[in-house]
Structure 1
Amino acid sequence: MPLAPYRLVWLALWVEASSTENAAFTEHFRAALAPHGEVTVHAYGPFHRTPQMLHFEIDLTPREAASECLQALGFNWVGDGWERPVDGKAFLHPAVHGAQAGAMEAATAPRYVTGDIVRVRDSPDAYELGLVGAEVIVGHPDYDADARPEVRTWRYSVHVEGQDETEDLTESDLEPTGRHVQLYGERINITHDGVAMGPSGMV
Structure 2
Amino acid sequence: SPGHLARLARLPEAALPREELRTLLFPDGRPRLLETLSTPLGRSGFVCVPLFADELAPGEPLLGHTARGVDLASSLGARSVSLAGMIPSHTGYGFDVLRAVGRTGTAGTTTAVTTGHAATVVSVVKTVHAALEATGQELGALTVAFVGLGSIGSSSLELLLGRAQSPPARLLLCDAPGSGPRLEELADRLRER
TM-score, normalised on structure 2?
0.30
Q: Kindly indicate which of the two structures has a greater share of residues assigned to helix.
A: 2
TM-score, normalised on structure 1?
0.29
Higher relative contact order (CA 8 A, sep 6+): 1
Structure showing greater Rg: 2
